[in-house]
Amino acid sequence: MLLCALLLLVSFPVSIWFCIKIVQEYERAVIFRLGRLLPGRARGPGLFFLLPCLDTYRKVDLRVKTFEIPFHEVVSKDMVTAEVNAICYYRTENASLSLTSVVNPSSAVSLLTQTSIKRILAHWKFSEILLQRRHIGDEIKVALDATTCHWGIKVEQAEIKDIRLPAELQHSLAVEAEANRQAKVKVIAAEGEKQASEALKTAADILSVSPAAVQLRYLHTLHNLSTEKSPTVILPLPFDLFNILSSSPHKPLAASGAAADVQRPAEPQNKETKTDSQML
């Protein structure tokens, strides 16, 4: 270091330009002196000085990086096999630790994310995976942070992007969904029939009290039929005829027969007895 300092003093006007380095706002410089990491935090942003003959430095980008996990097969808790695609966002939190701990941070985080997804989804049912993606993503993020914190890397977010289902499973889910829709339709129709029957019963009770209301309803129905566009032939009948036809036909005939028997006078009996002629 003394020889290097003496060399800088001898060639000062020129050597100063080899000692000044600049890093951007989103970068940090990790300095190694004779192969050993200098203590303290990484240098930057802006200007920093180093000894040209003894020091070397590496730039580390602190911006958020993203990568996409390709489709790979996972098995859920209920033994359903599906293909899952995920995406992960991470950034370098400690430049010195990241540079000295991991050779390829992107590849390491990618493989770790893929392994964590398989392990975590094995504890979830397939229906829960479809509905609880955000919660599963938070669980994956916590699991990744537990490991990447030792690498100086911070995982910002991890999400399940897409899920591919086998053709057989898609068909079975479609059949199940169609059966659920048909069941709901039948239940709604039954509820409608129940409400309609209750309304008809209430209307029948009201109309049975007032015969005039029944006749008005009959006339209103005839009016609605006459105003339809389709060609119809209407033969109106007197409303009293329905009351006569609705009564039992046997009781009036029996009553009238009994009345006729009561009102019919007794025929006088012919007391003369006919005798045969003497010639017979």
- Tens-of-pLDDT digits for all 280 residues of the chain? 788 778 877 777 777 777 888 899 999 999 998 888 988 888 888 888 888 878 889 999 999 999 898 898 888 888 888 889 999 999 999 999 999 989 999 999 999 999 999 999 999 988 888 888 889 999 999 999 999 999 999 999 998 988 888 777 778 778 888 898 899 999 998 988 888 888 888 877 777 777 777 777 777 777 777 666 666 666 666 656 655 655 545 444 444 444 444 444 444 444 444 454 454 3
Residue identified by tokens 């049912």 is 125
The reply to whether 125 and 181 lie within a common domain is no
In a domain, 242, yes or no: no
Cα 274–Cα 278–Cα 280 angle in degrees, nearest 5:
85
* Helix (H) / strand (E) containing 189: helix 167-209
The reply to whether 199 and 126 lie within a common domain is no
In a domain, 266, yes or no: no
Separation CA 127–CA 76 (nearest Å): 9
In a domain, 221, yes or no: no
Separation CA 81–CA 169 (nearest Å): 9
In a domain, 223, yes or no: no
The reply to whether 120 and 193 lie within a common domain is no
Q: Which of 28, 44, 61 is the last residue of a domain?
A: 61
Answer yes or no: pTM beyond 0.75.
Answer: no
Instruction: Give the CATH number of the domain where residue 144 resides.
Output: 3.30.479.30
Rounded alpha-carbon distances, angstroms, from residue 198 to 50, 185, 188, 192, 193: 93, 20, 15, 10, 9
Separation CA 237–CA 235 (nearest Å): 6
The reply to whether 132 and 187 lie within a common domain is no
In a domain, 179, yes or no: yes
Residue 119 is part of which domain span?
A: 64-165
Give 3-state DSSP helix, strand, coil % of the chain, rounded to 5. Answer: 50, 20, 25
The reply to whether 19 and 52 lie within a common domain is yes
The reply to whether 147 and 174 lie within a common domain is no
